[in-house]
Each structure stands twice: as structure tokens, then as C-alpha cells.
Chain A
Amino acid sequence: MPNVVAEHADRLVDQFREMVLVREFETRVSSLFEDNELPGFVHLYIGQEAIATGACWGLKDDDYITSTHRGHGHSIAKGLDPDRMMAELFGKETGYCGGKSGSMHIADVDQGMLGANGIVGAGPSLAVGAGLSIQQNDEDRVCLSFFGEGAMAEGVVHESMNLAGVQDLPVVFVCENNQYGEMTPAQDQHSVEGFEARGDVYDMPAETVDGMSVQSVHDAATRATERARNGGGPSLLICETYRYHGHYEGDPMVYRTEAEVEEWRERDPVDTLESSLLESGHVDGDDVAAIRAEASERIDEAVEFARASEYPDPESAFEGVYSEEL
């Protein structure tokens, strides 16, 4: 894609930088988890980076997103601070949610991040609510709702897409088809292959894009968000991608072959973008090394911040359930 690279070189370099940061964050989380430094369980985004970065790139600070249990990439792409994210994963008081959320529920509503969510399919109905708020107040905002293809089998996702269609809400449904719903192949979970047909059902434009290409995701998301901003209602974006790690860290992954993983790795969103940028001459090897080193240092800092932070006061476990104490 030399012409495209030439035309958008500065943006693509910045997107590359963010994707490398997400990859570095996730890779570090994987090893921290393996070393038993993180409580709970984590679901990693490695392989899917182009989607969060490409889809969120054109968003404004006050636009909204909803996320999933696999939400670290979405959070970074929406501008959340890796220090406070990592601290939350460690269960520390400096984390985004004071140690009450962990990996699966990181949220920062002020930054438009309406929460990672441990319930598959929960995000779209929240996004419809954000869309209703935007519509009620006649605001120039949109809401992007990320969800995995597994969520397409959840009833509430159908209800939400239908309601968004009926109400013409400024919501973009971003389906990340990473080929597996938990540990079962997508084709065994959905009676119709592909998800574009869902767009017809709800009378919304649907588009399937290469989720390993930040440019493709970026372009399609830009079309969809612009349509939403201009009163054109909701859209469905299906991003074909692959989850390199298991459903969760520790997943034995008996359901797929190493050859299949390798096949997808050939199309790695970070590496292919790096190659394109190098080929086009917009970056050289030193630039790439510097970007990767910078990401590594940034995550070093985040880990240090998290390690140095205190655990929350146990008394805080009983605070914040209600707006006023009952």
C-alpha cells in the first residue's frame, strides 16, 4: 500500500506507535501473569491491535466507547493512562477503579471509556444508552461499541442493534471477529457465515474489513462515525482478526493448531505496518527501534508505578456502593 502510506505517513507512524504500546502492554501483562504477580485472570488483545487503534483514532475526547473483557487495547486507544491501568491490574489503590475492577472492568467515564465488561454482549446496550443521551441532548458525539463475534449470539446484542436502528442512534457497532468465541470456532457458533447480513436485519450499513490492517479499520470506522455524527444512524463494522493468545491467559488452546496461529501471524498488524513504513522510507530501522524502545520504557514505568503503589485500605471495600450511605 505504498500510495496510501505516502499519503498518511504521519498518522500511520503515530498509529504504529500506539499499536506497539498496546502490544508491549499486553506482552508484559502476559509475563507478569505467568510470574503470579497479577491476581485474577486476564484476556489479552495481542493480534487485534489494529482494530482499537484504527477505530478510535478519529474519535474526540468526549466521544464514548464500550469495551469487553478483552479491553486493554480499547482503553489505551481511548487515551487511558497505562500507569493507572497497570495499577488496576495489580489491584492497587492508584488504579483506575481503586482496585475494585481489575482487568475486566476498567473504566474512565470522564475520558469517554464506559467500561470494559465481563459480561459478553453487555456493551452494545450501554452504547445504545450513550446514543440516547447524545440524541436527547443533541450533542456532537458518537459511541463506538466494541464486542467480539461471540457476542453476536447474545440476545441483548440483537435487542440493542435493533433499538439503535429503530431510534437512529449515533452508535457504531464494532464486531471483532477473532475466530473463536471462548474455545469454540466461530463457524460452530453462528448459523450464518459472516455477520454482514446482520446489518440488513437492523437496516444499518454493514462493512467487513481486514482487522489486521489499521488503515482499513481506520477508513471504515471514519465512514461509520461520520455517518453517525451527521444523523445517519448506526452502522455495523466487522473486523476480521485473530487472537494470538488463548481466551484467557493459561488457556491450553487445544482447539487450534500452531500452523493456524502462524498463518495469521504472517499478517500481523504491527509487523506488516512496520514493513510498509520501512518500505516507503518514512521510517528507518533506527526509528522503529526507537519507537519499540520507547514503548518498552513506557510500560516499564507503568509496572514500576503499579508495583510501588499501595494496596487499597480494606475499609474502602465497603465504600462507594451507593451515592449516599444507606
Chain B
Amino acid sequence: MPEKSMRNAINDALSEEMQRDDSTYLIGQDVGEPGGSFAVTRGLYDEFEEGRVIDTPISEAAIVGSSAGAGMTGSRPIAEIMYADFMGLAADQVMNQAGLFKYMFGGDVTVPITIRTVNGGPGANAAAQHSKSLHGLFMHMPGVRVVLASTPHDSKGLLKSAIRCDDPVVFFEHMELYNREAEVPEKSYKIPLGEADVEREGDDVTVVATQKMFYHARDVAEQLAGEISVELINPRTVKPLDTETLVESAKKTGRVVVADESVVQNGPASYIAERIQQEAFYHLEAPVEVVGVDDTPIPFSPPLTEAVVPDDEDIETAIRDMPRV
């Protein structure tokens, strides 16, 4: 099987879905001829007829708001917002518009839109306004599905499902993972939204890890092999969240670490921990440990960034600090 970067796997998914369904179009700033700020849409402007790949002004609210309107009127737009940090400019369009229409308008309307945006950036020293992981904000919005792209293989399959989904989906890529390469099947495949992936089976501790933290956790699990047996789970989507797989693993190992690059306070990792503690309480040897960013903006200078953003050491410490029988 050929290896592909996450960037190219996402590009493949976009190309395949746009070939498959004429009602799709791409819209965003620089997505056309420039090929996107992270070169994810490169080549699509030439591949598709005029009008299918739409370059816009720097207008996040109009990009997402127009996608909501287009979604209601027979289109299946795929919008790109360059950084998750910029989603604040379009938050109303998700929170009060796209996410609500199906429910608020009585159930018959669908708003089949995908908003691709980009978490991460601390590792690129992108500083406080270009580095946040903000999927937690959108988990808080009823009617909205939230997907996290972590591996090339999953990115392609998840994005295809997101595009075909009849609900608004916010699809979070990760700036520091675009160059990651892994095997990606040439054939078309989808990964359902709401199915976690057990990347590695283990007996002593479950690590639930997303995006860049997933790679840190994978390295740690490998290093600890023989000493501590780690079960590594990538939730892949945080709404819907595959609680069943997480709880089953927690019951087996009795110890859980959740690692996610968001702010911990009221964040995705805290929510995942809460669900596991609710449903696997009597099987746990210890409270679920959460690894994330502790109520601090992402700073610029490399040593400051390293102090704030968790890495493999933080995950290893959390694992080692778990009480063991």
C-alpha cells in the first residue's frame, strides 16, 4: 500500500467526493489557485470546472454563513477556515445558524455542510492566535458534529463521511500533522463518524489521545512496552463520541489517561474523563488523569511553548503516576 501525507490524503478525499457529487463545492480564502494556506486543496482548482472551487475575501462569517444558506438550498459546501482560531469570527454561523436550523425549523431541513479547519500550531511557534485546539467549543453546540483528523488513513475516510453527512460537521485537521505519512489505500473508503479506533491493545492503562497527542502517546506506549502495557485509543470523532469503546477499555485496564491539546477547563479531555468515570466507576483503580493545556494561552518562544503544551513526557508521567496494584 502506498504511503501518503495527511495533506494528500485529505486532498484525495476532497477530489473523490467532488467527483462523486456535483452539489459539492469548495469555498474559502486562498483555496483556489493558491491551493490553500497549507496546500491541502492544491490542484483542485484546475481539476474541477469553474465555480466548484471558490476563492473568497477574508470573510470567515460569510464563508460559513453562506455555506449554511447553500446547504439549505441543495448544495453540499465544503468550507475551509484557515485556522481554528479564526472560527471565532464565524462562531455565530455555526452556533446560531447551521447547527440549529434542522431542529429549530422543525426537523425537515438539512444543512449538509463540512467546515474544515486547523487545530495546532504550538509546535510551529505560531503563538496565541494561530495555535489553539478548539474542537471543545463546537462540542458545546447541539446539532454540530465534530471530527478530529489524526492519521492520513483516518483523515481520508472521516472526511468522506463528513462530506456525505446531512448535518453540519466541523472537521479539525492539525497544522503539525500535514506532513505525517502513512499507508493509505488507493480505493475509496469511508470511516463512520462515531467509531473510535483501538490503535494498540494493552492491559495496564488506557490512553485516549487525539491528534498530535495521539503520536506522543503512541511513542510512549512503544517505549513502555514490556514494562507497562498501554492500550491506545484514538476517538477520531468527539461528537458523536464512541463512549462504548472507551468505557469497555477502561473497564479492562482500570486506569485511564486522556490526552488532548485543548485547554483542560471545560474541555474535551475533561468531558471524556467524566463520561468514563460515570460509566466505568466501579472498575477504575484511580481517577481518570487528564493531560492538556492548563488555562494558558499558547506562547511564542519555544521554551515557553514547551512549558505549556503537553508532550510525550507529560503523557508518560501521567501513566507512571497511576497507582498500580
Contacts and interface: CB of A to CB of B under 8 A. Distances in A.
Interface of A: 64, 66, 95-98, 100-101, 105, 107, 109-110, 114-115, 117-119, 122, 124-137, 155-156, 159-160, 162-163, 166-167, 319-324, 326
Which of A125, A131, A324 has its CB near the most chain B CB atoms (within 10 A)?
Answer: A125
A266 to B, nearest CB: 39
B65 interface: yes
B105 interface: yes
Which of B73, B101, B110 has its CB near the most chain A CB atoms (within 10 A)?
Answer: B73
B239 interface: yes
A126 B66 contact: yes
Which of B27, B93, B103, B165 has its CB near the most chain A CB atoms (within 10 A)?
Answer: B103
Contacts of B104: 97, 100-101, 105, 107, 115
Contact of B57 (A117, A118, A127, A162): A162
Contact of A321 (B51, B77, B102): B102
B102 A132 contact: no
Given A97-B104, A321-B102, A323-B110, A125 B69 contact: yes
Given A129-B67, A130-B72, A166-B57, A159 B107 contact: no
A125 B107 contact: no
B194 interface: yes
Interface string B72-110: 111101000000000000001100110011111111111
Contacts of A105: 100, 104-105
A163 B62 contact: yes
B25 interface: yes
Contacts of A322: 102, 143, 145, 167
B54 interface: yes
Contact of A115 (B27, B93, B101): B101
Nearest to B237: A326
Contacts of B52: 136
A134 B167 CA distance: 21
B65 A156 contact: yes
A75 B159 CA distance: 37
A119 B91 CA distance: 12
Nearest to A154: B61
A191 to B, nearest CB: 21
B56 interface: yes
B165 A323 contact: yes
A136 B68 CA distance: 15
B70 interface: yes
Contact of B59 (A66, A135, A159, A321): A159
A115 B96 CA distance: 12
A160 B60 CA distance: 10
A159 B240 contact: no
Contact of A129 (B77, B142, B166): B77
A35 to B, nearest CB: 26
Contacts of A135: 51
Contacts of B61: 125, 155-156, 159-160
B120 interface: no
A320 B25 contact: no
B145 A126 contact: no
A114 B108 CA distance: 12
B57 A163 contact: yes
Contacts of B72: 109, 114, 126, 129-130
A74 to B, nearest CB: 15
Contacts of B74: 133, 137
B268 interface: no
A154 to B, nearest CB: 9
B71 interface: yes
Contact of A125 (B54, B65, B165, B194): B65
A125 B105 contact: no
A202 B112 CA distance: 29
A132 B107 contact: no
Given A115-B105, A166-B57, A136 B62 contact: no
Nearest to A97: B106
Nearest to B109: A109
Contacts of B166: 323-324
Q: Which 10 A-B pairs have the closest CB atoms?
A: A129-B69, A125-B65, A126-B69, A320-B107, A97-B106, A159-B62, A129-B70, A323-B166, A159-B59, A129-B66
A67 to B, nearest CB: 12
B66 A128 contact: yes
Interface string B25-64: 1010000000000000000000000011010110111101
Given A119-B96, A125-B62, A129-B77, A320 B102 contact: yes
